[in-house]
Amino acid sequence: MRSHVLQCRSRVATAIYDLLDPVAFGLFVAALIFDIVYGYSPEVLWGKGAAWLLAIGLVFAIIPRFINLAHVWIVGRRTAAGAEKLDFWLNLVAIVAAIVNAFVHSRDAYAVIPEGIWLSIVTVALLCVARIVLAFHKADFGELRHE
């Protein structure tokens, strides 16, 4: 059943997803690091850097999120695993948090702190959980195939 799902997914779409999704994740992690540094230093460079990282991260997230939407809810609407659906929802909430955070980062000077740090933590934490859920699922799936 599951292998059938994977076969239905376009190889090209999967490749694009695998290329772009980690870029967005990396940018959000970098934004969190910049926010934490900004929280301890009044140098505006860090706040402005975090604003760019979030904005660029959101742009990079658009295509992989749509591919994931199609994979989980269109191609695999009857067959997608619970873990994949959970991954979808965790990502959705993370992206909403990042969008709100991009607006918080449009504030001037230290008005970004502390909300900006909290929202960056939420975004990165949700994305981490999603990745772990998916990794466990893939590991289970691999074991199944070997049996």
Decide whether 3 or 106 has the Cβ nearer to another protein.
106
Residue from the set 96, 125, 129, 133 that interacts with another protein by CB under 8 A:
96
Interface with another protein, residue 44, by CB under 8 A: yes
Interface with another protein, residue 136, by CB under 8 A: no
Decide whether 3 or 41 has the Cβ nearer to another protein.
41
Interface with another protein, residue 137, by CB under 8 A: no
Decide whether 40 or 146 has the Cβ nearer to another protein.
40
Q: Which residue has the tokens 């195939």?
A: 145
* Residue-wise DSSP of 45-78: HHHHHHHHHHHHHHHHHHHHHHHHHHIIIIITTT
Interface with another protein, residue 14, by CB under 8 A: no
For 29, the token pair is: 């992690």
- DSSP 3-state assignment of 93? helix
